[in-house]
Structure 1
Amino acid sequence: MPKKEQVSSLQIAFMIMLFEIGSTPLFLLGGKAKQDSWLAMCTGSAAGFILLLLLMWIQHRSLNTDLIGMLKFHFGKFAGSFIGGVYVLYFAYQSMRNVRDLGELTAITMLPRTPMFITMLVFVLLALYAIWKGAEVVFRLPEVLLPVMIFFYIVLVALLGIMGSIDFNRLAPVMDGGLMPIVKAALPDIVSFPFGQMIVFLMLWSLWEKPGVPVKYTVNAYLLISLFLIFMNALNVAVLGPTIAGISQLPFLKTVRTLSNLKFVERLDILVTIQLFLGLLIKMMLFYFCSVKAIAELTGKPAKWWVFPVGAVIYGASFLERDYTQHIAVGLGPSLKLDPLFQVAIPLLLAISILVRSGFRRSA
């Protein structure tokens, strides 16, 4: 019998942080709230935290079982397997979106003459290799990459402060339009992306070296990364202003380009691009890994049987959208509207089933 793969509390915390950063800096989330977009991020992260508590409770009541096992146990083998199969497609779809983001970002910033199908293939093959090696390799990557990313962000924010590019007066007036624009910008969009995507950890917490959930590490990682994302959102508005930040294709990249008059260092946008690559690669890899893990459990076949087929589907599907404009329109439109079904509705049904079953046990 093969040894069960296990990961540590710290590895899970680092993965949560890098996963949540992911492709988030590509966009000004909550842009509809204008200068209050950072408050929309606060609202979204608070709602996401309530969802995280629900997910951790579900995992705590389902020790050593991942999402697929929970679905089959609570909804029956047939219905549970069907919903599990839909989750396989959902995880693969989310991975595909990040593959396309990587390809488009590379074409925009670094390799405009290199065909996108080549760069996207390279990224998929990198993820494929790590997943083939197993969970322990996948979870080791954030331990190396997260400190590098944090260092780069600290350097860039420090330079923006030194050069006087940051003007927090651009965040005023606060709540000029009242509370409703903030709530509408946050719910459900910011909950769906990025905070609701914590649903993937119902596939991953069962890999922890102890039963249950590393609650302290998970909560601390979530709170830290929420504060970071709120600050970065406010920073983009403070440098660019709400109008320019809201319409920018890559707001943080545009923010860093305001440092172009520095004489002692050039091409700081390369640092931003590297940070985005790292976040997108980890996010794409984790969704890919969860899709493989889910289909392996549904079929009873080893995960390695599915690494190549799932990778091929993800790579092929990344060409379905005609161009980047359509890709963003789908991702921030219909895709976000469907996310609550997978991130909120089904976990709520699982929680209700757990409560009902525990009630029956008490009365028996």
Structure 2
Amino acid sequence: MKKKEQVSGLQIVFMIMLFEIGSTPLFLLGGKAKQDSWLAMSFGSAAGFILLLLLLWIQSRSPKQDLMGMLTFHFGRIAGSLIGGIYCLYFAYQSMRNVRDLGELTSLTLLPLTPMSLTMLIFVLTALYAIWKGTEVIFRLPEVLLPLVLFFYFIIILLLGIMGSLDFTRLMPVFESDLKTIIKTALPDIVSFPFGQMIVFLMLWTLWEKPGVPVKNSLAAYTLISIFLIFMNALNVAVLGPAVAGISQLPFLKVVRTLSHLKFIERLDILVTIQLFIGLLIKMMLFYFCAVKGLTSLTNKPTKWWVFPVGALIYAASFIERDYTQHIAFGLGPSLKIDPIFQVAIPLLLALSILIRGHKKANSTTRT
């Protein structure tokens, strides 16, 4: 009998934190709010926290079922399988976006003469190998990589502070943008990316080694990483100013390049690139894994049966967008408008179905 794959509470905490970091610090999310972008980020994280509570409640009502099992149970075999299949495509699409980010970032910073198709293939094969080896291997990676990533971020922030690059007066005056603008900037875009992407953990919480749902672990990890991301958003503005940060394609890289005049350290942008590689790779791998896990659940085929086809689909789809400008424009534009369907609308329908079933069960018990 095959041993059930399980992960610890600490592994879930580390995975949530590294998954949420991803490429988020690279961009100035909420840039339309200018120096109030950190407030937009705060509103987005608060809305994401409410969404996380909803997801945890849904999971607590079906602690032994992942998202695919819930969909088929509540919406019926046919409709549930159809929605589940669309979710698998959605996870594969999100994985593709991270593959393209990895390829573009490599071409931009480290290997400008190496074909992007080759670097993206290496990243997909790396993820494929980890998924092939199993869940425990995937969840061990953040235990090693997250401390490294946070240490690198700490070094960069420390150097920015020592060199006097940080000027938090650039965040003043607070609430220069009106509250409506800040909330409009945060919803739904910042909720969709990165906070709403916690939807993938409806595929993963059932792997916890203990009975029930890791509520405290998930809430603690989300809170800590939200504070970190809000700070990093403010840091981009504090170094570059709202005008420059708002028009920069990759503001965090620009922030680090302000340290280029240091005589004892050169090419710190490579350090940033390595941090982002780690975050993007984990994010891409987890979306890829959830697509494979979803198809495994829906078809009752072994996991390894789907690893290669899904990997091939992700790799092929990463070439659809013509260039990086189009990739970013679509990813931070139309793509974020579609995300609420998967991150909010369908979970709300699931929650409604759970309530209706619970009400009917309570009524039938009362009558009996």
TM-score for the superposition, normalised by structure 2? 0.98
Corresponding residue SS for 1:142 = helix
Q: Distance in 2 between matches of 1:178 and 1:55?
A: 31
Residues 25-73 of structure 1, C-alpha deviations (whole Å, 9 max, x = no match): 2211000000000000000000000000000000000011100000000
Give the counterpart letter for 1:45 in structure 2.
Answer: S
Residue aligning to 1:263 = 263
- Aligned-partner SS, 2:263: coil
**Mapped contact 2:36–2:177 kept (Cα < 8 A):** no
User: Is 1:53–2:53 an aligned residue pair?
Assistant: yes
* Alignment partner, residue 84 of structure 1: 84
Q: What is the letter of the counterpart of residue 290 of structure 2?
A: C
Task: Find the aligned partners of 1:325 and 1:25 in 2 and give their Cα distance.
Answer: 18
Q: Cα deviation per residue 1:151-184 (whole Å; 9 max; x = unaligned)?
A: 0000100000000000001001111121111101
Write the letter of the residue equivalent to 1:177: S
> In the alignment, is residue 225 of structure 1 matched against residue 219 of structure 2?
no
The residue number in structure 2 matching 1:282 is 282
Superimposed CA distance per residue, residues 257-310 of structure 1 (whole angstroms, 9 cap, x where no aligned partner): 111111111111111000010000000000000000000111110010000000
Matched, 1:291 2:291: yes
Instruction: State the Cα distance separating 1:235 from its structure 2 match.
Output: 0.3
Q: Structure 1 residue 247: deviation in Å?
A: 1.3
In 2, Cα distance between the equivalents of 1:305 and 1:158?
47
Within 1, Cα distance between the matches of 2:188 and 2:2?
42
Q: Which residue pairs with 2:343 in the alignment?
A: 343
Name 1:97's counterpart in structure 2: 97
Show the counterpart of 2:171: 171
Question: In structure 2, how many angstroms separate the alpha carbons of the residues matched to 1:320 and 1:99?
Answer: 12
Number of the residue aligned with 2:10: 10
- CA distance in 2: counterparts of 1:243 and 1:286, whole angstroms: 35
CA distance in structure 2 between the partners assigned to 1:244 and 1:79 by the alignment: 48
Give deviations 1:101-151, integer Å, cap 9, x for gaps: 000000000100000000000000000000000110000000000000010
Q: Aligned residue for 1:254?
A: 254
SS in 1 for 2:164: coil
Aligned pairs (5 A) from 1:301-320: 301-320=301-320
Counterpart residue identity of residue 257, structure 1: R
Classify the secondary structure of the residue corresponding to 2:62.
coil
Q: CA deviation at 1:212?
A: 2.4
Aligned-partner residue type, residue 26 of structure 2: L
CA distance in 1, matches of 2:161, 2:221: 26
Amino acid at match of 1:106: T
Q: Which runs of 5+ in 2 are unaligned?
A: none
Structure 1, gaps ≥5 residues long: none
Match for 2:251: what amino acid? P
The size of the alignment, in residue pairs, is: 364
2-structure distance, mates of 1:325, 1:265: 31
Counterpart CA distance in 2 for 1:183 and 1:348 is 21
Structure 2 match to 1:65: 65
Q: Which amino acid aligns with 1:232?
A: M
Aligned to 2:136: 136
Equivalence for 2:243: 243
Query: Which sits farther off after the overlay, 333-342 or 244-253?
Result: 244-253
SS in 1 for 2:258: helix
Kindly provide the amino acid, as one letter, of the partner of residue 163 in structure 1.
Answer: M
User: Counterpart amino acid of 1:80?
Assistant: G
Counterpart-to-counterpart distance in 2, 1:141 and 1:210: 20
Q: For 2:334 and 2:250, locate their aligned partners in 1 and report how far apart those are by CA, in whole Å.
A: 21
Alignment deviations for residues 68-100 of structure 1 (CA, whole Å, 9 cap, x no partner):
000000000000000000001000000000000
Moved over 3 A (4+): none
How big is the alpha-carbon RMSD for the aligned residues of Structure 1 and Structure 2?
0.6
- Name the SS of the counterpart of 1:259 in structure 2: coil
Aligned to 2:147: 147
Identity of aligned residues (%): 78
AA aligned to 2:95 is S
Aligned-partner SS, 2:345: helix
